[in-house]
Amino acid sequence: MKLARVAAVAAAVVLAVVATILVATRVVELGTAATQPSTSDSAQPADPGAPLRVTIPAIGVDADLVPVGLKPDGAMQTPDFGHAAWYQPGPRPGDAGPAVLVAHVDSKASGPDVFYRLGDLEPGDEVTVHYRDVTTTFAVTEKEQIAKTALPADRIWNATTAPVLRLITCGGAFDRTARSYLDNIIVYADRLV
């Protein structure tokens, strides 16, 4: 009788251990599957790389995009004349959060530049950012002209997780002594679904 009870207890312990191992194995399999790339139709597309071009039909923009960062003084770098730039420390256009594109309005030597007509954009106008194999299109929602000394950083780089775009250039009166415009023109756009 005692032997039968010991055998029953031993069998129950073995079953509990086996069940625990099976559950643990299944949990590990599920965790591994969650981190593996999916082969279904809903698989995420390959990384598109860096943005390459920006087009804005309403104002005739079709320009190369180059990455920029910050200058030693903390100001954002600007692209060479004839190019627009993507602020690389921030999100890529189409990724979650506010992506920023900048370009010059003009120069004394070369005349109008990429964002010369940025202030002409109206709500609904489209901005398309081109990658190697895909594009992401945004619709303008609003624009503002504001003194450079009052740049609304909290509106440009807000905490949104939605994929939004900010386009920035110079505007307003030109200070001949400083050889700089006094204002910025900022265009806000949301990604089209």
pLDDT, tens digit (0-9, with 9 covering 90-100), for 44-75: 567 899 999 999 999 999 999 999 999 999 98
CA distance 85 to 56: 14
HSE-CB at 71 with a 13 A cutoff on CA atoms is 6
Q: Which residues contact 86 (CB under 8 A, 6 or more apart)?
A: 50, 51, 65, 66, 67, 68, 92, 93, 99, 100, 101
pLDDT, tens digit (0-9, with 9 covering 90-100), for 128-169: 999 999 999 999 999 999 999 999 999 999 999 999 999 999
Closest CA to 60 of 137, 127, 131, 124: 127
DSSP H helices, 36-163, are 153-156
pLDDT, tens digit (0-9, with 9 covering 90-100), for 8-31: 333 333 333 333 323 233 323 323
Q: Where are the domains of the chain?
A: 1-44, 53-191
Closest CA to 148 of 101, 93, 185, 97: 185
CATH topology for 53-191 is: Sortase; Chain: A; (2.40.260)
CA dihedral 111, 112, 113, 115 (to 10 degrees): 160
Predicted model pTM: 0.76
